[in-house]
Amino acid sequence: MIPVLPHPTREETTGPARTFGVEEELLLVDAETLEPAAAGADAVRAHAAGSHDAPASVHQVTTELQQEQIEVAGPPLTGLAEQVAAIREGRALADAAARAVGARAVALAAPVTAGAPHLVPAPRFRWLRERFGLVADEQLTCGLHVHVGVGSREEGVAVLDRIRVWLPVLLALSGNSPFWFGRETGFSSFRYQAWVRWPTAGPNEVFGSVEEYDRHREDLLRSGVPLDLGMLYFDARLSARYPTVEVRITDVCLDAEHAGVLAALSRALVETAARQWRTGLPAPSASAAQLRAWSWQASRYGVEGPLISPATAAPAPAQDVVAELLAVVHPVLAEWGEAEQVESVLTGVLRDGSGTRRQRTSFAPRQDPLDVVRTALEETHR
């Protein structure tokens, strides 16, 4: 049995809400045909040109690995409502940039229709193609990355050690990629299966200290397999650019509020873990091999099948495991006034399914993948 640690009381440790920011990778599709559009670099240039004549935005719109992607990064914020608004604004900015070059930005975590992506012509990405071959060529995946502020690298590593057992549950809640280049995969998040083909992706063992975290990074870099720190694609990691823990395991979500709630849930997990660390509670001891199996289960079934409970390391109904997670973070969510909205949205996901079910429902009547893209566009910008 792997113990799930209790949450310290508010009297034991309190503090202001941590900042958190969201990065979303969005798929680009042709505005007319709805097929993937190799328009990323052109869309980013259009956004840069248009920003000279528009009010300054705190969002950053950039290219990603493939031309069929665009990334939008929002600012660090402190409230769930403003985070949801920021996600919607970021999606609108990305879509406006895409529209300027005849495309649309849509929150699909993997390509629905058949085709081959086109690499952004940057030296780094050319190196990735030469080094990793088909893994890089096929890597057209769109994730939701949540940056949560931490006070120090010591606190950040302590947080990583304590949130790792819950990351598969976040993955299950986000599932939004049942299709892969025109094929139904049987997975809720096939994006995650494609992503963990990178040699540095996935879960880690408990680090225990900043020194051990750094040693692990240096060992990987010394091997010559990853290019640099940016290629350490852990499910969660210390950001190399910001004083944050970056939770990277989740699919981009169809619905903006769903994305905001997963971001708030990630932040509550970080705060809970930091409080556990400050009060001397040890990290759960699940191995990386266990977590890889738990994440496979979450990727395969999402919330439509059993998940692995961190309390028992055994399968349990998804609603029960999500309830376990909510019980762990509820004190923080309640303290920050976010419990009702988070629990309401997650109840809806458990009842109605995640983006995966919405995609499959759209596909079923005519077996036409373009119906999935049409529905996803409506949901993305609803």
* pLDDT grade for 374, boundaries at 50, 70 and 90: very high
Average pLDDT over residues 148-168: 98
- Given pLDDT bands bounded at 50, 70 and 90, which one contains residue 43? very high
Q: Is 105 a domain residue? A: yes
Res 14 pLDDT > 50: no
Residue 156 has pLDDT above 70, yes or no: yes
Domain hosting residue 373, numbered range = 20-380
Amino acid present at 176? N
User: Does the pLDDT value for residue 1 go beyond 80?
Assistant: no
Whether 11 has a pLDDT exceeding 80, the answer reads no
| Mean pLDDT, all residues of the chain | 94
Instruction: Give a yes or no: residue 4 inside a domain.
Output: no
% of the chain exceeding 90 in pLDDT: 92
- How many domains are there within the chain? 1
Percent of residues, the chain, with pLDDT higher than 70: 94
Per the domain annotation, does 2 fall within a domain? no
Q: Scanning the structure block, which residue is given the tokens 């031309």?
A: 67
pLDDT higher than threshold 80 for residue 340: yes
**Phi-psi label, residue 9: left if phi above 0, alpha if psi -120 to 50, beta otherwise:** beta
Higher per-residue pLDDT: 10 or 286: 286
Whether 186 is covered by a domain: the verdict is yes
190 falls within a domain: yes
pLDDT tens, residue by residue, 76-92: 999 999 999 999 999 99
163 falls within a domain: yes
Residue 2 has pLDDT above 80, yes or no: no
DSSP readout, 112-163?
-S-----B---HHHHHHHHHHTHHHHT----EEEEEEE-S-HHHHHHHHHHH
Q: Do the domain assignments include residue 15?
A: no
* pLDDT surpassing 90 at residue 321: yes
CA distances from 124 to 141, 156, 319 (A): 18, 28, 42
Any domain includes 14: no
The pLDDT of residue 13 is 34
Residue 76: CATH number of its domain? 3.30.590.20
Q: What is the pLDDT of residue 58?
A: 86
Q: What is the pLDDT of residue 173?
A: 98
Q: Which residue has the higher pLDDT, 16 or 370?
A: 370
Give DSSP secondary structure letters for 252-312: PPSSHHHHHHHHHHHHHHHHHHHHHHHTTPPPP---HHHHHHHHHHHHHHTTSS-EEETTT
pLDDT-derived band at 9, boundaries 50, 70, 90: very low
